[in-house]
Amino acid sequence: MNFNTKLKEVRANLGLTQEQFATKFSFSRTTVTELENGNKKPTLKTIQKLSHLTNTKLSYWLDEDADTEIKLFDGLKIIIDTLIEVGEINESGKCSDKGTNLLLKMLEKEIPLYMNSKKN
């Protein structure tokens, strides 16, 4: 299931209109509409906010097929902190298979951004 479908489903399960959802979770209605229609890619900060506010796991929103706008180094700290929080990384730093897959996905996005930044 892609991000926009997940967002629509979560909003519907909460029994909220786009406007009510936007107001309750401090988004603009336009942003909610664009995200649900797939006209806007979610950022990792948006995904983290949705995860926290809707009491869902970050991994629900960010799966292996996620189409997410990732800015240079924006996501690593968010992902690592969240993986620690949900127990995918233990106190000794050992990462579960699921956590490892998410981190690898992040690195696949971050490395090209970093390489492009070095060219500028």
DSSP secondary structure of 58-94: HHHHS-TT---B--TTTHHHHHHHHHHHTTSB-TT--
Tell me how many helices (H) and strands (E) the chain has. Answer: 7, 0
Give whichever of 28-37, 85-94, 106-115 has the largest mean pLDDT. Answer: 28-37
Query: Which domains are delineated in the chain?
Result: 1-40 (1.10.260.40), 42-120 (no CATH)
Taking only the tens place, the pLDDT of each residue in 26-59 is 999 999 999 999 899 888 788 889 998 999 887 7
What is the model's pLDDT at position 48? 84
pTM for this entry: 0.59
